């Protein structure tokens, strides 16, 4: 085989690159790749309440509610009572109306529970992707069991995101007040209003304009709701109101929340057990455990606007950001070692 001599002109000679420059290039490439991964991944904020957005009940552990839940339900622990779920939904047969992913309890349905009706949509029950418990029924043609968890990262893993969200909201500067037991937004402009309430028992009335205002109520003291008059668009609300979708109560420091009368609005209580004595809820509940509620209305899902930068991040995005930060740390240490060798 003939041989060839390859000769390069001066302009074609390879450029000598120092170890530091090579590492800088690597670090720059890593930074670019990391940013591309973050920007190309699931959006940092998927709905104002993250993975819980759209669920009537979202519990990191157990749910024990025997009354009808008009919308969808997700839990990481155990479903402990017979109930009807999803009757007020208009969804495809593959929609995840019931999600019990077993991330905090692999026995997702308690022994001896009566019939659980999934009226519209399907269910993901860990351990039942092919077979199914005899007490679960589907009332929509084509509905059945989903083979994979529709909640990215699992329900239990998302709890820390909501603890962080609750803390962020609690530290947001208030721009409205509780005066003589009343939160009054009547006549105020459209926008997001934050009110700090030291004791929920001191709250007697809320006047609010649906559709144009979001009301965030940070509760730091007693957490029993009883006999609060809620007036929306000039009208006092009944048990089936669907106008409280822009109201969110933040119980970020609570271990328990008690509802003694009809509740209007949504609840963020990531470390608390929310209980009621058959109390009707017109809103969404995110809590550690949920029990004793009355009928839960699907048309009252929270759809307000949280203060900028305070939405709940997806667990998968948190993991990706953690991996990126770890990579930055490794490259930074390597760069310091190379610089130290050069300076010797």
Which pLDDT does position 1 carry in this prediction?
A: 44
pLDDT tens for the chain, residues 1 to 344: 444 343 434 444 444 444 444 444 444 444 444 433 333 332 222 247 999 999 999 999 999 999 999 999 999 999 999 999 999 999 999 999 999 999 888 889 998 888 999 999 999 998 876 566 778 999 999 999 998 999 988 999 999 999 999 999 999 999 999 999 999 999 899 999 999 999 999 999 999 988 889 999 999 988 999 989 999 888 877 665 678 899 999 999 999 999 999 899 999 999 999 999 899 999 999 999 999 999 998 888 999 999 876 666 555 444 444 444 444 444 445 545 545 555 55
Query: Rounded to whole angstroms, how far apart are CA atoms 192 and 49?
Result: 15
Query: Rounded to whole angstroms, how far apart are CA atoms 280 and 262?
Result: 5
| Helix or strand (DSSP H, E) at 193 | strand 191-197
Backbone angles phi, psi at 264, to 5 degrees: -120, 115
Which pLDDT does position 100 carry in this prediction?
A: 95
Which pLDDT does position 169 carry in this prediction?
A: 95
> Checking DSSP bridges between strand 182-184 and strand 178-179, what pairing results, if any?
antiparallel
Residues in CB range of 222: below 8 A, 6 or more apart: 199, 200, 201
In the DSSP assignment, the letter for residue 117 is: E
Which pLDDT does position 333 carry in this prediction?
A: 54
pTM of the model: 0.78
Sign of CA dihedral 177, 183, 187, 192: positive
Query: Rounded to whole angstroms, how far apart are CA atoms 267 and 249?
Result: 5
């Amino acid at each position: 085989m003939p041989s060839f001599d390859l000769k390069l002109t001066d302009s074609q000679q390879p450029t000598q690159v120092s170890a530091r420059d090579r590492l800088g290039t690597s670090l720059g490439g890593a930074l670019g790749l990391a940013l591309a991964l973050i920007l190309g991944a699931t959006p940092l904020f998927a709905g104002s309440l993250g993975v819980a957005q759209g669920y009537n009940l979202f519990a990191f552990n157990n749910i024990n509610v025997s009354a009808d839940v008009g919308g969808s339900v997700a839990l990481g622990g155990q479903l402990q009572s017979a109930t009807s779920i999803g009757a007020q939904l208009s969804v495809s047969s593959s929609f995840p109306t019931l999600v019990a992913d077993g991330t905090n309890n692999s026995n997702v349905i308690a022994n001896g529970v009566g019939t659980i009706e999934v009226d519209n949509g399907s269910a993901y029950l860990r351990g039942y992707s092919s077979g199914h418990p005899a007490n679960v029924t589907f009332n929509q043609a084509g509905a059945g069991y989903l083979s994979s968890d529709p909640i990215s990262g699992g329900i239990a893993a998302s709890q820390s995101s909501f603890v962080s969200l609750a803390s962020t909201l609690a530290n947001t500067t208030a721009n409205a007040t509780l005066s003589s037991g009343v939160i009054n937004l009547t006549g105020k402009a459209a926008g997001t209003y934050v009110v700090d309430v030291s004791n929920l028992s001191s709250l007697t009335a809320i006047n609010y304009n649906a559709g144009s205002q979001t009301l965030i109520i940070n509760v730091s003291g007693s957490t029993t709701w009883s006999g609060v008059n809620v007036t929306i668009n000039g009208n006092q609300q009944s048990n089936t109101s669907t106008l409280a979708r822009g109201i969110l109560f933040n119980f970020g420091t609570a271990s328990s929340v008690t509802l003694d009368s009809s509740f209007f609005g949504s609840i963020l209580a990531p470390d608390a057990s929310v209980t009621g004595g058959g109390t009707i809820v017109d809103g969404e509940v995110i809590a550690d455990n949920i029990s004793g509620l009355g009928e839960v209305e699907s048309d009252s899902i929270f759809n307000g606007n949280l203060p900028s930068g305070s939405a709940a991040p997806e667990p998968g995005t948190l993991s990706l950001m953690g991996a990126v930060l770890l990579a930055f740390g490794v490259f930074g240490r390597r760069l310091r070692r190379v610089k130290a060798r050069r300076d010797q």
